[in-house]
Amino acid sequence: MPTEVTVQNLYIFNSTLSKNEDDGAKKILFYYPEHEDENKKILNVGHIEAVICFARNFNANEPCESLRTEKSLQVLFNAEPDFWIVITVSAVCKSKQKSSESPDEPVYCTYNLQEPIYLAVLKHWYHTFQMTVGNMTKLMNDNDPDYLRLMLNKFYSKYLQSTDVASHTFMDMFQGISFLPLDNVIHLYAQSFLNIIENTFQQVHFTMLLYNDSLVWSGLNKRQTQLVYSYILMWVLPEIAKNDNLVKGNLVQQCLPNQLVGRFITNVWAVKTDSWISDLGKVPILRLSDENEQTFKSYRLVMYKAHHSIVCMFVKMENPLTADLYNTLDQFLGTKLHLLSEKMKNAVEKTLASKLYTERPAKFVYFNAMNLAIKNSIKYSNTAITTNRPSEFNLSPDALRVLVDISSQQSCMHPTYSVMIKTSNDNWVAGRLCNSREIYIVLNQKLTKLYDVDSEIQSLCAQEFGTIFFYD
Amino acid sequence: MDDDNCLQLNDDPIQFVPASVSKTTNVFYDEITGQIITVHSGELTEIIVTSSTRYRENMVFKIEDRGPVSSIKMSLDCKILTMMRTALSVELMDIKENTLQSPYFLFCKFKGAKLLGFIWTGNNEILLISDKGVELYQVEDQPKQRIVFSKSINLHVNWFIYSNYSKMLLLSMNSFGDFQPLHILPGNINKLTKLEIDLDISLNIPNQSISERNIVMTTVYNILRILVLPTSQSRNEIIIYTLNKMMTFKKSHILRLTHNGKLLINVVDNLIVVHYQHTKSSSVFDIYMEAAKEHTISHYLPILDNLSIKRTVPREGGGHYISHLYSSICISFQPNIIIDAKLGYLWHFKLNLAAVSKVIMDKCSLIDFLLLRPKSKDITLEVLQHMILQKRSNLIEIGNVFDHLNIVYKKHLNHHIMNTSPLPNDYMIVADSLQCKVVIEQLDIYKHVFVKLVDKLENSKADKKFTVSILVEYIRSLTDNKITIEHFLYELLINCLVINNMYFQLHQMVQYHIVIDSKPLACLLLSLESLYSPAYQMALDMLHRLNTAHEEIVEVLLSKKQVIPSMRYMSQHNMLDHSTYRKLTEIAISTDNSKILHSTKEEFVQRKVTSNDELDTNTKV
């Protein structure tokens, strides 16, 4: 049954900010929709506060994560001590035969809503906030709650505007990284190129290389890579796709008339940006944790694009971005990046050509929690800029929901797990977990024997994952 | 000795009685035997033979004076002293118990021929060269001295030069630059294609002629070459003719000289050294370096220029005095000999690589240069250490230098493979592509650069990162040249990454197969699990890809008490038998999980039943 999912509200609060009944609004740090009645805001927050307190009686160590009612699902994320982020979603069935008794009354199907998806979204957004703005507690202590409100508002409004949370499905749970399939020779060229950048420009602390929307190399740690990667996918690539002449005509271009081969990507949206020479070409400032994950350091993210590749350079804050630096970087990077990118293009095309894709009725999603690599049978072409939107995965919502269920089951089962489920429309959905890798398969085939399903899955695994230890 | 000089003379020159003692004293140097023979003419002629190579005692002979000696040589085995006094005959004297026996004579066969000289071409072969041709004789000492004629060639000869290394005799036929090369074989003479050396006809300079002084025949990079020195002031270049596989001399290189005037030529470590008497300086050319080409002929500029060679001569009483090498009294002999006949010294030239490494600024050229020199390994490694450990070079330069090293390394490895089938050993035709004397292998770089680099790592993050970058650069260069990378480099790379907490980078490298799979590396990764948990997955993948490590995989799984997965794996690879039963059961018990224990037992019960059934049916039938 088609379901229409809507986000009713999303709010962030800290109960300690309100001292008594009268200043209940103070504890609210962010509330969407903004124009909601003030009293309703306080009421909603108070309601969830009560739920949290109530649930605490049963398990003081693990906070309440979700609340399901007939009409809505509320997912709670306790991001920092006393800081809660709550999202409320509801689902309405769009069935053709409306219930005859009350034609105006919508039929709710909250059972179609799945907590893991929204929890993953909340967590991911929060971590991105942490990277781009900072830690909520610290922001509040260093400044005041109003400053935090401003920052949260800037960040969450933009995210809610740009993404449709309701359309998030199974694929959004992973926030995986698509790695570019390259042979070792080309990959070494890429590494060598990035090392040379870091060696030549002492200002550049870390580097990262993307080819289209695939990652080639990251000098950051796993967690940071994941956040920066999704940040670029979300804010940089769509902008480039929208307007390939992003920089043309603005003052950066005037200052750097020689950008022939490649160009800098500036004016990227970020809560905190840094400008050079009075507000020309803003670059995002990102906070990255150091080795022991305790302290954060801010870096300017300078991105340079040539051909299909983007090199991301994390420049230390103490080094100013001058027109001089931009010029020398441009001269240094342009041709080299272009040549490297062409090599990568040839290599990728070669591997794609060598892989003869026999049309399989099966679709799969592969995720490796260890290196966050994600792969799926649809998104294989690296030639066009695409996003991780699940629409491309083209699966029925039912199948996707089954996948979410399987995946949340699997996370409890270690170390190996295998499940095959027959859906209501006679398709098969299978999930396997082995060696920290998850693979989800949807067979659009009307197979009757379990053995046939299994052998189909096995042959798929053998074809796709011959080089990894994935037994069955 | 001045250590900053690129070219040096040896500290212990060979001293001989110089010609300056009296007017009646003559000094001869024999390039073939490397002997200096001093002849004091007088009523009783005294002959002193000084060896320049072997530290032998001087031989002194006294003979009656029978006229001035124009040429004197010892046979190759030092058993016969040969001398030429007239243009008609050569005089041979056997040496027995350090005394000369009575002479016997070898006369020129051609009538009216004027003898130009003689050469000992073999232990018992002597070649006479006259203006009418060449004659080859065999000297037999059994039972009695006897000279047997073996071969002669009749042609007009102006003068000749001979290279003993390749047994090549070059005869000047006229003064217009026509030459006849002869290859002297035991008992035979092989006539090669004539060589025409083109003089500067365009300038139309009269009286241009090529004399012995204009020609140097020597071996450079194992191939015989003829160097034609400038015949006129206008042509300021040396033209090199090289003997090719067809045994003909072809114009191959041109050396652009920086100065005019009289030259001396030496060859040191396959480098052509040109001494300019006029400017008292020397230039060094390397014909294996890359050079600009004009009409397929490479034109070379000196790689080292304006060098001056100092020599100090110990004086009696302790002091030293510096004398001029570039004076006209000095003579050069091939390959690297300089003789001062007046003072009575014979020096060997040598190249001071340490000084050269400070002079050539471009590191890639320097590395190319060093790899072509023998015994340059230590210096090459020092240069690398200087570049990397002292951080004198950037990563781009280091990468380029690695490429230069590894191109040679790869050639060497290929050569090694080819050489397993023995090739016909033609001593002269050595148009060998592999001329590099030194190969810097992975172990050398590892021992002399990387280990030291890791040792002196300061705690700063930039330093650590730099080490990883250099290692990656080296691996990149090796991979580029399709050289199999040795295990210790990977191990070091992994350790460096671990020290830097660059686990995700390590993960990416394994993922992209930059680290080539092997069992030891899989074990290393396994040991990292406590530091970086995904290492376990990487290790299992690696073992899986090896496809020969079934037992290891089972061990790894069992160490995690994954009884059921390992059992499944074992059954897939037919590894379940009685021997594994006990082990599996023990681990199953230790898991304290009754399900696992039951499944384990059930698996074996079923297997046993089936195997017993088979046995039963077999016995019944």
Query: Are A344 and A233 contacting, i.e. CB atoms less than 8 angstroms apart?
Result: no
What residues in A contact B563, CB-CB < 8 Å?
A: none
Query: Which residues in A lie closer than 8 A to residue B508 (C-beta atoms)?
Result: 179, 217-218, 371
Q: How many residues does chain A have?
A: 472
Judge: B512–A198 Cβ closer than 8 Å, yes or no.
no
pLDDT higher for A356 or B21? B21
Question: For position B207, what pLDDT does the model report?
Answer: 59
Q: Is residue A125 exposed (0-12), middle (13-18) or buried (19+ Cβ within 10 Å)?
A: buried
Question: CB-CB: which of B394, B501, B503 is closest to A200?
Answer: B394
Residue B328: pLDDT over 60: yes
Q: Which residue from B minimizes the CA distance to A416? A: B565
Q: Is the pLDDT of residue A428 over 80?
A: yes
A463: contact with B, CB 8 A cutoff: no
Mutate to test the interface with A, among B479, B498, B537, B550 (most CBs of A within 10 A): B537
Nearest CA in chain B to A436: B537
Q: Which of A184, A195, A199 sits opposite B479 (nearest CB)?
A: A184
Does the distance separating the beta carbons of A371 and B475 come in below 8 Å?
Answer: no
| Token representation of residue B418 | 């080819």
Task: Look at A188 and B560 and tell me if their CB atoms are within 8 Å.
Answer: no
Taking CA–CA distances from A216, the nearest residue in chain B reads: B508
> Is residue A328 less than 8 Å (CB to CB) from chain B?
no
Alpha-carbon dihedral angle through residues B117, B123, B125, B131, given to the nearest 10 degrees? -10
Taking only the tens place, the pLDDT of each residue in A273-304 is 665 544 456 788 888 876 666 678 888 888 88
Cα–Cα nearest to A179, from A154, A155, A213 = A213
Q: Does A409 touch chain B (CB under 8 A)?
A: no
pLDDT of residue B246: 78
Residue B565 Cα, gap to closest chain A Cα (Å): 7
Residue with tokens 């024997």: A449
pLDDT one-digit tens code per residue, B553-578: 888 888 888 888 888 888 888 777 77
What's the pLDDT tens digit per position in A245-257?
A: 444 444 455 555 5
Residue A126 confidence (pLDDT): 92
Confidence band for B615, pLDDT divided at 50, 70 and 90: very low
CB contact burial B2-38 (16+ within 10 A = b; e otherwise): eeebbbbbeeebbebbbbeeeeebbbbbbbbbbbbbb
Q: Does A77 touch chain B (CB under 8 A)?
A: no
b/e string for A94-103 if b means 16 or more Cβ within 10 A? Answer: eeeeeeeeee
The residue assigned the tokens 């602390």 is A205
Helix (H) or strand (E) segment spanning residue A126: helix A115-132
Interface contact flag, A471 B501, Cβ < 8 Å: no
Q: What is the pLDDT of residue A381?
A: 37
**Cβ <8 Å between A188 and B514:** yes
Provide the chain A residues 3-42 that lie in CB contact (below 8 A) with chain B.
Answer: none
Q: How far is CA A190 from CA A182, A324, A330, B407, B436, in A?
A: 10, 25, 17, 21, 31
Rounded CA-CA distance A283/A218 in Å is 19
* Residue B548, C-beta contacts closer than 8 angstroms, at least 6 positions apart: none
Compare CB distances from A436 to B512, B537, B569 and report the shortest one's residue: B537
Amino acid A259: pLDDT: 58
Q: How far is A148 from chain B (nearest CA, A)?
A: 33
DSSP E strand boundaries for A155-261: 204-211, 214-218
Residue of A222 and B13 predicted with greater confidence = A222
Whether residues B508 and A415 touch (CB distance < 8 A) is answered with: no
Mutate to test the interface with A, among B402, B464, B466, B476 (most CBs of A within 10 A): B476
Q: Mean pLDDT check: name the lowest of B253-257, B433-437, B514-518, B581-585.
A: B433-437
Residue B26's pLDDT is: 80
Burial call A58-78: b when 16+ CB within 10 Å, e when fewer: eeeeeebebbeeeebbbbbbe
Write out chain A residues lying below 8 Å of B564, CB-based.
416
C-alpha torsion angle, residues A372, A376, A382, A388 (rounded to 10):
-70
Cα–Cα distances in Å, from A168 out to A4, A7, A399, A404? Answer: 12, 11, 14, 12
Instruction: Give the orientation angle of helix B503-511 with respect to helix A222-231, to 10 degrees.
Output: 70
On whether any CB of chain A is under 8 Å from the CB of B507, the answer is: yes
Task: Judge: B395–A435 Cβ closer than 8 Å, yes or no.
Answer: no
Chain B residues with CB-CB distance to A370 below 8 A: 507, 533-534, 537-538
Strand ranges (DSSP E) for A183-329?
204-211, 214-218, 262-265, 273-276, 280-289, 296-306, 309-316
Higher pLDDT: B416 or A296? It is A296
Task: Report pLDDT for A242.
Answer: 67
pLDDT for the residue numbered B616: 41
What are the tokens at A470?
Answer: 């994935």
Contact predicate B334/B31, CB 8 Å: yes
Of residues A224 and A417, more confidently modeled: A224
- b/e map B46-59, b = 16+ CB within 10 Å: ebbbbbbeeeeeeb
- Kindly report which listed range (B21-25, B236-240, B390-394, B592-596) carries the lowest average pLDDT score: B21-25
Handedness of CA A225, A227, A228, A233 (dihedral sign): positive
- Residue from A177, A184, A206, A208 whose CB has the most chain B CBs within 10 Å, to mutate: A184
Would you call B512 and A184 a contact, using CB atoms and an 8 Å cutoff?
yes
CA distance B197 to B263: 19
- Residue A137 CA to residue A140 CA, distance in Å, equals 5
Chain B residue numbers touching A192 (CB-CB < 8 A)? 395, 399, 472-473, 476
Task: Show Cβ contacts of residue B346 under 8 Å, excluding neighbours closer than 6 positions.
Answer: B13, B14, B15, B16, B29, B36, B52, B337, B338, B339, B340
Other C-beta atoms within 10 Å of B365: how many? Answer: 15
Type of residue found at B614: E
Task: Give the distance from residue B462's alpha carbon to the nearest chain A alpha carbon, in angstroms.
Answer: 9
Contact flag B476-A222 (C-beta cutoff 8 Å): no
Segment among A72-86, A118-132, B155-169, B429-443 with least mean pLDDT: B429-443
Cβ separation of A437 and B399 shorter than 8 Å? no
| Closest among A21, A375, A347 to A185, alpha carbons compared | A347
Task: Indicate yes or no: CB of B545 within 8 angstroms of CB of A471.
Answer: no
> Is the pLDDT confidence value at B251 over 50?
yes
Q: How confident is the model at residue B611 (pLDDT cuts 50, 70, 90)?
A: very low
Please count the other Cβ atoms lying within 10 Å of the Cβ belonging to residue A360.
17
Which pair of structure tokens corresponds to residue B486?
Answer: 């040795």
**Smallest Cα–Cα separation from A281: which of A236, A307, A260, A250?**
A250
> Are residues B200 and B231 in contact, defined by beta-carbon separation less than 8 angstroms?
yes
Q: What was the ipTM of the complex prediction?
A: 0.86
Amino acid identity of residue A148, one-letter, is L
Interface contact B55, partner A, CB < 8 A? no
Query: B172: which 2 tokens?
Result: 């000047």
Top mean pLDDT of A380-389, B136-145, B438-447 is at: B438-447
B314 - beta bridge partners?
A: B320
Residue of B nearest to A208 (CA): B505
Which of B477, B512, B532, B596 to probe by mutation at the A interface, max A CB count within 10 Å?
A: B512
Residues of chain B with C-beta less than 8 angstroms from the C-beta of A221: 501, 503-504
- Please, are residues B299 and B285 in contact by the beta-carbon 8 Å criterion? no
B550-559 vs B578-590: helix axis angle to the nearest 10? 20
Calculate the alpha carbon distances from B126 to A193, A251, A394, A460 in Å: 65, 88, 95, 83
Please list every residue in chain A whose beta carbon sits closer than 8 Å to the beta carbon of residue B396: 196, 200
- Identify the closest residue of chain A to B514 by CA–CA distance: A184
* A108 phi, psi to nearest 5 deg: -85, 145
Is B275 strand, coil or helix?
strand
Report which of residues B98 and B610 the model is more confident about.
B98
Spatial CA neighbour of A174 closest among A390, A468, A383, A380: A390
The answer to whether the CB atoms of B472 and A221 lie below 8 A apart is: no
The per-residue pLDDT for range A334-382, each reduced to its tens digit, is 888 989 999 998 888 887 776 655 556 677 888 888 888 888 765 443 3
Q: Does residue A161 surpass a pLDDT of 80?
A: yes
CB contact under 8 A, A200 and B476: no
Element (H, E) at B38: strand B35-40
Q: Does B504 touch chain A (CB under 8 A)?
A: yes
Instruction: Categorize the per-residue pLDDT at A390 as very low, low, confident or very high, splitting at 50, 70 and 90.
Output: very low
Side chain identity at A80, as an amino acid letter? E
Angstroms from A185 CA to nearest CA on chain B:
6
pLDDT at residue A247 in the model: 47
Residue B266 has pLDDT above 70, yes or no: yes
Does residue B70 carry a pLDDT above 50? yes
Q: Contact B543/A469, CB-based, under 8 Å?
A: yes
Closest CB to B479 among A188, A195, A436: A188
A-chain residue closest to B515, CA distance: A184
* Yes or no, beta carbons of A467 and B473 under 8 Å apart: no
CA separation for the pair A367, A374 (Å, rounded): 5
As a whole number, mean pLDDT of residues B588-592 equals: 83
Q: Say if A465 is an interface residue toward chain B (CB within 8 Å).
A: no
Answer whether residue A385 shows pLDDT above 60: no
**If you average pLDDT over every residue of chain B, what do you get?**
79
Give the span between the Cα atoms of B402 and B407, in whole angstroms.
9
User: From residue B477, how far is each of A375, B176, B443, B518 by CA, in Å?
Assistant: 31, 52, 15, 21
Residue identified by tokens 């095959």 is A420
For the residues B505-529, what does the mean pLDDT come to?
A: 89
Mean pLDDT in residue range B416-421: 61
Q: Which of A84-88, A422-426, B484-488, B577-581 has the lowest mean pLDDT?
A: B577-581
Q: Give the Cα separation of A160 and A11 in Å (integer).
A: 12
Q: In this model, does residue A204 exceed pLDDT 70?
A: yes
Distance spanning both ends of chain A, measured CA to CA = 34
User: How far is residue A387's CA from residue B401's CA, in Å, rounded to a whole number?
Assistant: 42
